Amino acid sequence: MAGFQSLPGFREFFPEDFSRRQHIFRVWRQSARAYGFQEYDAPVLEPLELYKAKSGDEIEAQLFSFTDKGGREVALRPEMTPTVCRLVGEKAGALKRPIKWFSVGEFYRYERAQKGRLRAFNQFNADIFGEAGPEAEIELIALLIQCLAGFGLTKDDFLIRLSDRDLWFFYLEALGLDDTQSRALLGAIDRYEKMGDDAFKGYAEAHGVLAEETKARVLAFLKIKSLPDLEAILRPFESEKLAARLADWRKVLGGLAAMGLQDFVSVDLAVVRGLAYYTGFVFEAFDRKGDLRALAGGGRYNDLIRKLGYADLPAVGFAIGDVTTGLLLEQRGLAPTFVNAPDVYAVIGGEAERAAAFADICALRAAGWRVDYPLKDVAFGKQFKIAAEAGAKLALIYGGDELAKGVVKIRDLSDRSEREVPRDQVVVAVREALGGGVE
RNA sequence: GCGGCCAUAGCUCAGUUGGUUAGAGCACAAGAUUGUGAUUCUUGGGGUCGCGGGUUCGAAUCCCGUUGGCCGCCCCA
């Protein structure tokens, strides 16, 4: 063994792993295109300042950052949001609205690897810019659902938990807390699910013990699981802000219900999301059965583009990671087995038949089919075994008997049926047998 | 950054109180098998036991260090 190891938290993708990853990327891309999103990409290496500007100096500890040979402070991208904000910001005036963009790329974080968390990972990012209303949330959450349902996952497998940072701030304000207190309390609320009552200790040390009645109201808010419950709890407050948020909630949940997606989404105000730049709705996708990390997360960040020095442009976005998604698909038996299976495997009798087979193999490949054959003479029986193990759909049989008759035998490897076709109709016959065009 | 557990073939593992040349199953390759796929049999390749040091006549085995993995904490954009 010995030699070299890959760096901690970095993965190597042998063909089997690569095909699983490609399957994930393919579902994401198909989903995004179906929803009318356009794909973009951007540099993997960025100025360190781009991330400090968004998240503060302490972020540097979790970045792959260094000084390049030109003395520039740089970092491998830990996320897409600042980059895509820059891209959109640069051309904000020239882009048709709404701007619906997505990307698939690799990201890097200098953290200790854990289950579902590595130092290099892939993310699908989707964002809508230029739409301030909750219509953007409907579109994005629907896309997120499709990005998971596209693998064959159902409402029994995952759940989108929808929350709202603005609603929390307005609610806490109505309870009499100021902005600093509210921010501190949201930190406690974020930890409440995991730590229970201890989560409030930090808040008590900084801002004094929370009044029992306030705490009870906060905990009641956390328990809300439906829109009627939310409406009921907010009814006593005469707040225009709260009423406006509630109207947005009705729109988002109503829109998703109209799409038939209501079973995928739950009101859950326990989701706060650590990052302070979220300004409204926030949401996360979770595995319903297991104890995996979040599958996806996102929300509205209306101020970020302006804070980075560009136009004032509202934005909503989310990201899905490939690591947790891969684990979930594995657990559910939804990881594909034969992503790179050939369409056709040519079974070749011997050297004499090889030339005839080559002509057809080449023609089929030029037409776009995936075609494979044994490089050297192999026993007939073994060739069928190889074809079946590779996952080929059809075997084309080039034996002495067939060629003498001017035909090729086509064997359907799934039902073992066979038929003979004239040599000059092989491409047509393969197209018929495989049902239409090349992917 | 902190703590716990672990490291033997490509994979899953066995390896006795420290004792000759470190094993099995699976996988891979060749053959039995020159015309039809999940069987069977035979044979073969593949390991300086993660790496470095120490104790010992002798270390996969005991000790120390180190690297990596898993799990948890912090963090989670």
Give the other-Cβ count within 10 Å of A139's Cβ.
Answer: 21
Rounded Cα distance, A400 and A202, in Å: 83
Dihedral, A6, A11, A14, A20 alpha carbons, nearest 10 = 180
Instruction: Give the whole-number percent of chain A exceeding pLDDT 90.
Output: 67
For chain A, give the number of residues: 439
Q: Flag whether A336 is in a domain.
A: no
- End-of-domain residue from the set A331, A365, A396: A331
The pLDDT tens digits for A86-112 are: 999 999 999 999 999 999 999 999 988
Would the ipTM clear 0.95, i.e. be above it?
A: no
Contact status, residue A127 vs residue A84, Cβ threshold 8 Å? yes
Q: Flag whether A106 is in a domain.
A: yes
| A154 shares its domain with A204 | yes
The pLDDT tens digits for A194-247 are: 778 888 888 888 888 888 999 999 999 999 999 999 999 999 998 999 999 999
Rounded Cα distance, A278 and A220, in Å: 23
Contact status, residue A202 vs residue A188, Cβ threshold 8 Å? yes
The pLDDT tens digits for A124-163 are: 999 999 999 999 999 999 999 999 999 999 999 999 999 9
Q: How confident is the model at residue A58 (pLDDT cuts 50, 70, 90)?
A: confident
| A369 shares its domain with A315 | no
- The integer distance in angstroms from the CA atom of A1 to the C1' atom of B7 is 13
Rounded Cα distance, A147 and A69, in Å: 40
Helix (H, G, I), strand (E, B) or coil at A139: helix
| A278 shares its domain with A323 | yes
Q: Amino acid letter at A287?
A: D
Give the other-Cβ count within 10 Å of A50's Cβ.
Answer: 17
Rounded Cα distance, A417 and A36, in Å: 42
Helix (H, G, I), strand (E, B) or coil at A90: helix
Q: Flag whether A439 is in a domain.
A: no
- The integer distance in angstroms from the CA atom of A4 to the C1' atom of B59 is 26
| A236 shares its domain with A380 | no
Q: Flag whether A279 is in a domain.
A: yes
Q: Flag whether A9 is in a domain.
A: no
- End-of-domain residue from the set A280, A306, A331: A331
- End-of-domain residue from the set A331, A354, A379: A331
B strand bases under 7 Å from protein CB: 1-3, 9-10, 28, 32-38, 47-48, 50-51, 67-77
- The integer distance in angstroms from the CA atom of A3 to the C1' atom of B59 is 23
CA within 13 Å, CB half, A330? 11
| A326 shares its domain with A384 | no
| A278 shares its domain with A167 | yes
Q: Among candidates A305, A416, A427, A419, which has minimal Cα distance to A359?
A: A427
Q: Flag whether A8 is in a domain.
A: no
| A194 shares its domain with A115 | yes
- The integer distance in angstroms from the CA atom of A340 to the C1' atom of B10 is 21
- The integer distance in angstroms from the CA atom of A396 to the C1' atom of B34 is 18
Q: Flag whether A5 is in a domain.
A: no
User: Structure pTM?
Assistant: 0.92
Q: How many domains does chain A have?
A: 2
Nearest nucleotide by C1' position to the A388 CA atom? B37
Taking 80 as the threshold, does the pLDDT of residue A75 lie above it? yes
| A167 shares its domain with A312 | yes
Give the helix, strand, coil percentages of chain A, each rounded to 5.
45, 20, 35
Helix (H, G, I), strand (E, B) or coil at A141: helix
Nearest nucleotide by C1' position to the A78 CA atom? B77
| Token output for A31 | 């989903």
Q: Which domain holds residue A140?
A: 15-331
Q: How confident is the model at residue A3 (pLDDT cuts 50, 70, 90)?
A: low
| A353 shares its domain with A236 | no
Nearest nucleotide by C1' position to the A389 CA atom? B37
Q: Phi/psi of residue A320, each to 5°?
A: -120, 135
Nearest nucleotide by C1' position to the A82 CA atom? B77
Continuous segment of H or E residues that includes residue A412: strand A407-412
Contact status, residue A251 vs residue A138, Cβ threshold 8 Å? yes
Q: Flag whether A6 is in a domain.
A: no
Look at residue A2 in the predicted model and tell me its pLDDT. Answer: 47
| Token output for A246 | 């509630």
Here the CATH number for the domain that contains residue A226 is: 3.30.930.10
- The integer distance in angstroms from the CA atom of A293 to the C1' atom of B70 is 16
Nearest nucleotide by C1' position to the A63 CA atom? B77
| A323 shares its domain with A348 | no
| A311 shares its domain with A366 | no
- The integer distance in angstroms from the CA atom of A378 to the C1' atom of B15 is 40
- Burial class from Cβ neighbours inside 10 Å (0-12, 13-18, 19+) for residue A238 reads exposed
Here the CATH number for the domain that contains residue A379 is: 3.40.50.800
| A193 shares its domain with A308 | yes
